[in-house]
């Protein structure tokens, strides 16, 4: 069930993010905004009215798998070694290095009962207990764990339940290089 998306759905994911992002106003990361005037054709994307934006993966090239039943995460493709930034400031609560599953992964407590998880990393620059901020990378995109190509598997949990990360990301333009 991992990484087996058709070209069509990959394009659909990219288009949906682009159209979502184009309707938003980008603000400094630690500010919240009432995004009341979002207009998007993708009515199945839950748009929340209060959110914090961040640029998690500046070098991202697209979405290889979106959020759906069976994949409660978003997969962002990017070249090996691309820097990964936390969605919001927080504290590292877990660093895991497995050969399977998530591979090398970092969990960050972002406050407000929100945890973010970054999986399949290569290098990891943080340790458990570290405070992190949005201007410093926590690691790099890798090929660890159950993955068939370099990408970031990003999960966000609120009150212990997975939520769709997409509305929380201000991804900007897809990197065309
Ligand atoms: Zn994934």
What single DSSP character describes residue 14?
A: H
Asked if pLDDT for residue 56 goes beyond 80, the answer is yes
Mean pLDDT of the chain: 75
pLDDT band per the 50, 70, 90 thresholds, residue 173: low
pLDDT band per the 50, 70, 90 thresholds, residue 161: very high
CATH number of the domain that 161 lies in? 2.70.70.10
**Is position 2 within any domain?**
no
**CA 173 – ligand 1 centroid, Å:** 21
Beta bridge partners of 84: 139
**Is position 1 within any domain?**
no
The pLDDT score that the predictor gives to residue 172 is 57
**CA 177 – ligand 1 centroid, Å:** 23
How many domains, in total, are found in the chain? 1
Instruction: Calculate the alpha carbon distances from 131 to 8, 125, 136 in Å.
Output: 39, 12, 11
Distance CA 93, CA 109 (A): 6
Higher-confidence position of 108 and 43: 108
**CA 127 – ligand 1 centroid, Å:** 23
**Is position 176 within any domain?**
no
Residue 111 tokens read as 């406050």
Distance CA 170, CA 160 (A): 23
Give the pTM: 0.68
Higher-confidence position of 156 and 176: 156
**Is position 173 within any domain?**
no
**CA 73 – ligand 1 centroid, Å:** 6
Compute the average pLDDT of residues 131-154.
94
What single DSSP character describes residue 68?
A: B
**CA 129 – ligand 1 centroid, Å:** 25
pLDDT band per the 50, 70, 90 thresholds, residue 44: very low
**Is position 175 within any domain?**
no
Distance CA 97, CA 124 (A): 10
**CA 65 – ligand 1 centroid, Å:** 7
Q: Which domain holds residue 46?
A: 7-168
**CA 106 – ligand 1 centroid, Å:** 14
């Amino acid at each position: 069930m991992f990484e087996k998306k058709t070209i069509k759905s990959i394009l659909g994911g990219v288009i949906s993010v682009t159209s979502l992002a184009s309707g938003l106003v980008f603000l400094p990361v630690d500010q919240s905004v009432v995004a009341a005037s979002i207009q998007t054709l993708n009515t199945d994307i839950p748009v929340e009215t209060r959110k914090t934006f961040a640029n998690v993966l500046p070098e991202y090239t697209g979405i290889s798998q979106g959020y759906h039943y069976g994949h409660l995460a978003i997969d962002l493709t990017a070249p090996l070694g691309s820097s990964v930034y936390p969605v919001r400031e927080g504290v590292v609560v877990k660093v895991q290095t497995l050969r399977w599953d998530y591979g090398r992964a970092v969990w960050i407590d972002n406050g407000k009962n929100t945890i973010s998880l970054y999986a399949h990393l290569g290098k990891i620059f943080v340790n458990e207990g570290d405070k992190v901020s949005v201007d410093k990378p926590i690691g790099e995109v890798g090929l660890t764990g159950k993955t068939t190509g370099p990408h970031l598997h990003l999960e966000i949990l609120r009150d212990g339940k997975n939520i769709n990360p997409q509305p929380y990301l201000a991804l900007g333009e897809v990197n065309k290089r």
